[in-house]
Structure 1
Amino acid sequence: MPATIKHLIFDMGGVLVRLQWHQQVTVLLGRDVPFEQIHALWGNARSTHAFETGRLDFEAFTDALIEEFGLALSRDEVQHRFRAMLDNDFDDSVPLLTDLNADGRYTLSLLSNTNPCHLAMVKERNTIWPLIERPFTSLDFGLMKPDPAIYQAVLDALNARPEECWFFDDGIHNVEAARALGMNAEQVFGPNDIRSLLTHHRLL
């Protein structure tokens, strides 16, 4: 790992915030979807893409999701299950971000595919959000990971070179897309993984 890292960029769900994604998607669809397939399923769904790029509100998204997947659940149950996908922060998320801010060497950024419902929940908790200097989401750009354009938009906003950034995501396709642009990127499953990597490379 080069010693030129200036920007640490985190995914949100599955990295800083626990997800009940697999459990809730299984209930919604009435079938088990392997974890490694959920990212592709979610990202390729027309309804989800429109919701997470700001083109549908929650009510319209609910109707579109029910229609697209032929869901047998009521609108209220679908919305309840959707909200329940976002769980609490990982225990070490706030301590990790606090330590990194105190370290002072890095700009802490967020790059998350998210939606108005889940984003509002995170902001209302007021835990990790105040600790992120530059939060970016799919809603800001009208793009979703792993589209290369969203990574380039973040680099432009940060005025950063790819090699100055280290990106952490739980989705391997998102990690591979970042690497293809020259960013340092790792697949992680929580803040403990991030802390271990930073410590190993003497960056924390």
Structure 2
Amino acid sequence: MENTEISVVMFDLGNVLVDLGDVEKMHEMLNTEGEESDVWLKWLRSPSVAAFDSGKITFDQFAMRLPQEVGSNVDKETFKKAFKAWPKGLFTGALELVQSVKPNYHRAILSNTNAAHWSRLMNEMGLAGNFHSYFASHLIGSVKPDRSIYDYVLDALQVAPEKILFIDDNQVNIDMAQTLGIQAHRVKGVEEAKNVLNSYNVLQE
């Protein structure tokens, strides 16, 4: 049976379709230790990250600000090189999953990303051309979980929020989406994503 409720299938990228590697990379960049979920919260709450991911500062400014913010003495060029290389690539089966969404659904990306990663994601990793809408935080000027980015998406798509199925790996992003009526689910990796999409019957056999 076709799902008459959903008309848009919207994907987050990092830790859903894109392999960000292990948490050690984040510990290096944020000068932290501890659970992955705690490190992500620190990342999401960082003023420097928010400014870069919303396109308000340049890569150079970010590479100077974030280490200062977290008390790291890494030099700018070393940081830039490590940060640019951070997303390892797509998870195995990620593109196949996206391409298996039934053709009558509108496919979208909603990602907190930045000028340093976007071209790698689109070109090097081959995500370009596989979606109908690309909502990238640095091009929109706001970041998840701010309400403004979701309002932007709803306005651009011109659909009721309950017609959007959204998968993301961060609970705070899911919480805000659900508050607005979007059908949002927390997943990590391709298998968990596939399970949710299958439960809504939006994938081809």
TM superposition outliers: structure 1 runs of 4+ over 3 Å: none
Identical-residue share of aligned pairs (%): 28
Between Structure 1 and Structure 2, which shows a larger proportion of helix residues? Answer: 1
Match of 1:195 in 2: 194
Is the CA contact (8 Å cut-off) linking 1:7 and 1:107 kept in structure 2?
yes
Matches within 5 A, 1:115-194: 115-125=114-124, 127-194=126-193
Is the CA contact (8 Å cut-off) linking 1:14 and 1:170 kept in structure 2?
yes
RMSD of aligned alpha carbons = 1.7
2-structure distance, mates of 1:202, 1:57: 42
In the superposition, the TM-score normalised over structure 1's length comes to: 0.92
Is the CA contact (8 Å cut-off) linking 2:177 and 2:184 kept in structure 1?
yes
Match of 1:80 in 2: 81
2-structure distance, mates of 1:30, 1:146: 23
In the superposition, the TM-score normalised over structure 2's length comes to: 0.92
Is the CA contact (8 Å cut-off) linking 1:21 and 1:86 kept in structure 2?
no
Relative to 1, partners in 2 of residues 1:30 and 1:126: Cα closer, same or farther, differing over 3 Å? closer
Q: Which runs of 5+ in 2 are unaligned?
A: none
Aligned pair count reads: 202
How far 1:40 sits from its partner (Å)?
2.0
* CA deviation vs aligned residue, 1:48-94 (integer Å, no higher than 9, x gap): 11111111111111011122112122222212221232111011111
2-structure distance, mates of 1:142, 1:200: 33
Match of 2:25 in 1: 24
Match of 1:6 in 2: 7
2-structure distance, mates of 1:84, 1:23: 14
Is the CA contact (8 Å cut-off) linking 1:97 and 1:128 kept in structure 2?
no
How far 1:201 sits from its partner (Å)?
3.3
Match of 2:93 in 1: 92
Structure 2 SS opposite 1:157 = helix
* One-letter amino acid matched to 2:98: L
Is the CA contact (8 Å cut-off) linking 2:90 and 2:125 kept in structure 1?
no
